Amino acid sequence: MDGTGSVKVPDGKLVRVHATYDDRIESVRITGDFFLEPPEALEDLEAALEGQPADASEDDLRAAVDGVDAQLIGFDAGDLAAATVEAVR
């Protein structure tokens, strides 16, 4: 299965997550008008979400994203987790 979720951060940016999943999240693509330093960390954020259970809680997904060494600008780990939950719902 696959799905898309998005979060528009109030006074912030749009984060969109496209995921393919079964019992687990198989692949994730994150797009949007946010900023990220370093930019190459995008792949690390995607990798942190891949392999998570498809029914993982938003808190668990946020914790997975929080473990990535990157500065999220215009959005935060919670926004990314919320968009992911919507994508796999």
Contact pick of 2, 24, 35, 59 for other proteins (by CB under 8 A): 35
Contact pick of 17, 19, 25, 30 for other proteins (by CB under 8 A): 30
Backbone angles phi, psi at 19, to 5 degrees: -130, 145
User: Is the CB of residue 31 less than 8 Å from the CB of residue 74?
Assistant: no
Distance between CA atoms of 10 and 31, rounded to whole angstroms? 17
The answer to whether residue 14 forms part of the interface with other proteins (CB under 8 A) is yes
Cβ distance to other proteins smaller for residue 50 or 60 = 50
The answer to whether residue 80 forms part of the interface with other proteins (CB under 8 A) is no
